[in-house]
Structure 1
Amino acid sequence: MVLNETKKKKPFKRSPQKPASARVSHEPPKPGLEVRATAAKLLAAAVDRKISLDGMLDLTHGNPAYKTLSDADRALARAILTTALRHLPRLEAAIASLLESPLPEGARALHHVLVVAAAQILHLGVPSHSAVDLAVEQANRDPRNRRFAKLVNAVLRRLVREKEEVLVATASVSPVPDWFRERLVKAYGAVEAERIAEAQLTPPAIDLTVKADPAAWADRLGGRLLPTGSVRLGEFEGSVTALEGFETGEWWVQDVAASIPAKLFGDLSGKRVADLCAAPGGKTAQLIAAGAQVTAVEQSPNRLARLKENLARLGMEAELVGGDLFAYSPDEKLDGVLLDAPCSSTGTTRRHPDVLWTKGVQDIEKLASLQERMLRHAVTLVKSGGIIVFSNCSLDPLEGEELVERVLADTPSLQRRPIDPEDWPGLEEAVTVKGEFRTTPAMLPPSEGFAGGMDGFFASVLSVK
């Protein structure tokens, strides 16, 4: 500023200048900045505060910043988040290898900015200059991180230059958290544990359960017929709801592993069966299609409404019961019960990678206790000679094999009905020595044009004497 010295004025005093950390940019955000900032915030919420992505990404009750994004930006935010969570230990190792010294304690916001950028550079094919520039802009706009903007720029530009070397160097880092890797090794051995961990890096394929003639629908949709009778779709653009057969209710989306438990009852023609944790309804629909008279029990009113909508699209009917399954007691004992119990969901991390970061051993123990109570209640609902299929999408034996053994040990009226692996060609390896199902994401190899893998599931068939 130049003062006019020909006029007398009061001495000019500069206002105290705000420190750099307190300045706020009033410039409009760069295109793409908001989606990266949102991804970093949601990543922090999942990893640091153990908040489920499903809730945050819900378009009705989810995160406000996420809901305000465009459809395209929401898709990008989801891609960044799921990729970052799948590869998190390796991304963190990559960043650490490029830092001269660790980030300051408490610099978690900066950490998440770097992880979001690294996920784009290493795995998403986003233009590198865009990922770097927007991360630097994020740092500059955050008072906590502004002083690290040059560091962000330097680290990420080096990551771009050394991308291939970094990918090779971090390939030996387990992609799952330590607590989960330890439980996998204990349950499956070191070699299989590594196969499972690596398989979870691959996003899941889309599998369909078809009402009738799955081979014909596989041809119509250009899909692959799986050993279970499910149809696996190849890569395609657009929405599943736009595919032939959706509007007319000829099929529904259901992972191949999730389709197995309902198939374990055998002939259900005319039999009375309850699905005790029914929503969203895929297994209920299978039971109806198999000829059973189905009662679908669901505690959540919102999920029960979704179940009703799904059955309506499929042109199917069931008796719907809303409420706590522990309060459910039919007038007459049933021929069968399907209990696909709420669990830690560690078998579904290909589609829900936040699970390994929002849950831990205590959650598994708590859920196993709840499942055991549910199974013991289910036994009281079934008549002599009836069948109970107990299942869940956990990879942890505490929620599967060990739980069933405990219930069998002190319930003389209950016995295991072993599954014959010869009845499941192509999935023989999933049938255990004791005759129970145990699938993992490392099973079902890929074929040309089609991804491999399946959710991790446990299922046991029990009969009442």
Structure 2
Amino acid sequence: MVVSAVKSARRQPPTAEIHDDTPGLAARRVAVRLLSAVIDTKTPLDGLTDGEHGHPQYRALDARDRGLVRAILTTALRHRMSIQALIDARLDRKLPSNAAALNHILHVGAAQLLFLDIPDSAAVDLAVTHAKLDPRTRRFANLVNAVLREIGRRKERALPAVLAKTVEAPEWFAERLDAAYGKDHARAILDMHRHEAAIDLTVKSNPQEWAHKLGGFVLPTGSVRLTSVDGAVSELPSFGDGEWWVQDAAAALPARLMGNIEGKRVADICAAPGGKTAQLALSGAHVTAIEKVANRAKRLAGNLERLKLDVEIVVADLFEHRPDQLYDAVLLDAPCSSTGTIRRHPDVLWTKTPDDISRLAALQRRMLDHAATLVKPGGTILFCNCSLEPEEGEAMIATALAENKALERVPFAAGEFPFVDGFLDADGAVRTTPAGLPDAVHKRAGLDGFYTVRLRVKG
């Protein structure tokens, strides 16, 4: 404990001269600012760290510092509950609710001490300097120094102990996960959340050959998994030739579950960034990609151009889309809470709320009802999303089938698509979670959480 140090920190404001041009300080200050945006205003991290449209202070950093900021933030968010427990254990009382800025400085410092390859002295000194520069935290600089140094000194024993008893999720989400999957499966999901996900690729042909060329291996689902990449993914062989694209193994399943769609008219709704669109086009379908947001449609077009795939792109709100001819099939990857992607996007647990889940489930239901009007009688709707929440999946579909008499379930049968046999639920839908595809090496294991159900529009 550092009770005496904490108390003295309140009485002894630092007086030493300080400067804001210390090497490495700018990156830490940006990390704290962006962490505040995620936690305090529920701003998604991807938008904040976008190279073209992200936070201006982030864009002002060089490439190396941007990478450091992303590493700090994903680590601080991935292990937020454990970090908070270690901070709380070193205070005589919890920080007040109006001390958010101080708490963010402590989290950024502790993430470096505990999980990143950064010297303890650098992590502590930069955090203290930052505290001195911020008028809101200046009088707590000694506290920052005492708490972080104590965490650094005791981390070899304290970290494993806190990891063993801490769940890395807000209480509301952990409770919902327990209710949906049972405590053991829920804990396995959250344990996987602590480990960075691998990079999965969908390849146009010959997965074994591409796995050999790129230094990966082929998953049972057919995706190629890379456990390490030196440099940018775009620098890997044949990226520019469009022979493969990045797509989580779970996200690659729905399009494959469409079956034989060669020559059929298929709509991909909410199509950007285009991984599923590309799969549908590669399968020989005549694909119409529907995307509401113009910037996302532009990105979709660029991706398809690189992949050399011909697709009709329609920039429109789904609810206003009325095709001249009904489609044979529709793939609806509906907007959702994205709780199945927490390994790749640890900010999700801190930017979403139960109210968001209910609101998105209602939107999904409306989208599904409208999608049913776009498909010819006897045609297929494949509904999917990357949420772990039954409210956005199993429960929503059950209600839709009870209330929309134009739809009926077409269960996936065991053996029909053998690569998903291990993920079939009692209703013949496909449910993956981050605890799937287990492996002793965490980097080789897991996949996103996805729910996929096949429906038919009655004749």
* Residue equivalent to 1:213: 206
3-state DSSP of counterpart to 1:162: helix
Q: Is the 8 A contact 2:196 2:443 kept in 1?
A: no
Q: Is the 8 A contact 2:13 2:140 kept in 1?
A: no
Deviation sequence 1:93-148 (CA, Å, 0-9, x none): 10000112222441111111001111111111211110011111111111221221
3-state DSSP of counterpart to 2:271: coil
* Residue equivalent to 2:268: 275
Task: Give the alignment's TM-score, normalised by structure 1.
Answer: 0.93
Q: Distance in 2 between matches of 1:246 and 1:49?
A: 36
* Residue equivalent to 2:372: 379
- CA-CA distance at 1:24 after TM superposition: 11
1:87/1:413 Cα in 2 relative to 1: closer, same or farther (>3 Å)? same
* Residue equivalent to 1:284: 277
Whichever residue aligns with residue 304 of structure 2, its letter is L
1:357/1:24 Cα in 2 relative to 1: closer, same or farther (>3 Å)? farther
Q: Is the 8 A contact 2:20 2:133 kept in 1?
A: no
Q: Is structure 2 residue 189 aligned with structure 1 residue 196?
A: yes
Q: Distance in 2 between matches of 1:165 and 1:294?
A: 56
3-state DSSP of counterpart to 2:444: coil
Q: Is the 8 A contact 2:14 2:142 kept in 1?
A: no
Whichever residue aligns with residue 273 of structure 1, its letter is V
Whichever residue aligns with residue 461 of structure 1, its letter is R
* Residue equivalent to 2:3: none
Q: Is structure 2 residue 414 aligned with structure 1 residue 398?
A: no
Q: Is the 8 A contact 1:224 1:450 kept in 2?
A: no
Q: Distance in 2 between matches of 1:55 and 1:221?
A: 29
* Residue equivalent to 1:437: 430
Q: Is the 8 A contact 1:261 1:459 kept in 2?
A: yes
* Residue equivalent to 1:3: none
Q: Is the 8 A contact 1:22 1:143 kept in 2?
A: no
Deviation sequence 1:237-282 (CA, Å, 0-9, x none): 1111111121111111000000001111110110000001111111
Q: Distance in 1 between matches of 2:387 and 2:344?
A: 13
Whichever residue aligns with residue 276 of structure 1, its letter is I
Runs of 5+ unmatched residues, structure 1: 1-19
Q: Is the 8 A contact 1:442 1:453 kept in 2?
A: yes
Whichever residue aligns with residue 71 of structure 1, its letter is A
Q: Is the 8 A contact 1:21 1:144 kept in 2?
A: no
- CA-CA distance at 1:412 after TM superposition: 2.6
- Decide which of 72, 80, 96 is 2:72's aligned counterpart: 80
In percent, how many aligned pairs have the same letter? 52
Which stretch shows the higher mean deviation, 413-422 or 264-273?
413-422
* Residue equivalent to 1:357: 350
3-state DSSP of counterpart to 1:422: coil
Q: Is the 8 A contact 1:55 1:61 kept in 2?
A: yes
RMSD of aligned Cα (Å): 1.8
3-state DSSP of counterpart to 1:183: helix
Q: What count of residue pairs does the alignment treat as equivalent?
A: 447
- CA-CA distance at 1:165 after TM superposition: 2.1
1:105/1:241 Cα in 2 relative to 1: closer, same or farther (>3 Å)? closer
* Residue equivalent to 1:338: 331
- Decide which of 180, 199, 214 is 1:187's aligned counterpart: 180
3-state DSSP of counterpart to 2:428: coil
* Residue equivalent to 1:9: none
- CA-CA distance at 1:447 after TM superposition: 6.2
Which stretch shows the higher mean deviation, 96-105 or 323-332?
96-105
Which has more radius of gyration? 1
3-state DSSP of counterpart to 2:415: helix
Q: Distance in 2 between matches of 1:323 and 1:23?
A: 59
1:393/1:227 Cα in 2 relative to 1: closer, same or farther (>3 Å)? same
Whichever residue aligns with residue 105 of structure 2, its letter is V
- CA-CA distance at 1:26 after TM superposition: 6.6
3-state DSSP of counterpart to 2:89: helix
* Residue equivalent to 1:150: 142
Deviation sequence 1:5-41 (CA, Å, 0-9, x none): xxxxxxxxxxxxxxx9899967342111111111111
Whichever residue aligns with residue 32 of structure 1, its letter is G
1:448/1:27 Cα in 2 relative to 1: closer, same or farther (>3 Å)? closer
Q: Is the 8 A contact 2:340 2:388 kept in 1?
A: yes
* Residue equivalent to 1:235: 228
Whichever residue aligns with residue 101 of structure 1, its letter is R
3-state DSSP of counterpart to 2:231: coil
- CA-CA distance at 1:216 after TM superposition: 1.5
- CA-CA distance at 1:428 after TM superposition: 2.8
Whichever residue aligns with residue 331 of structure 2, its letter is L
1:48/1:420 Cα in 2 relative to 1: closer, same or farther (>3 Å)? same
Q: Is the 8 A contact 2:198 2:225 kept in 1?
A: yes
Deviation sequence 1:163-215 (CA, Å, 0-9, x none): 02221331211111101001101110111111111111111111110111112
Q: Is structure 2 residue 130 aligned with structure 1 residue 138?
A: yes
Q: Distance in 1 between matches of 2:239 and 2:284?
A: 21
1:22/1:164 Cα in 2 relative to 1: closer, same or farther (>3 Å)? closer
3-state DSSP of counterpart to 1:258: coil
* Residue equivalent to 2:43: 51
Which stretch shows the higher mean deviation, 99-108 or 277-286?
99-108
Task: Give the alignment's TM-score, normalised by structure 2.
Answer: 0.94
* Residue equivalent to 1:71: 63
Runs of 5+ unmatched residues, structure 2: 1-11
Q: Is structure 2 residue 301 aligned with structure 1 residue 308?
A: yes
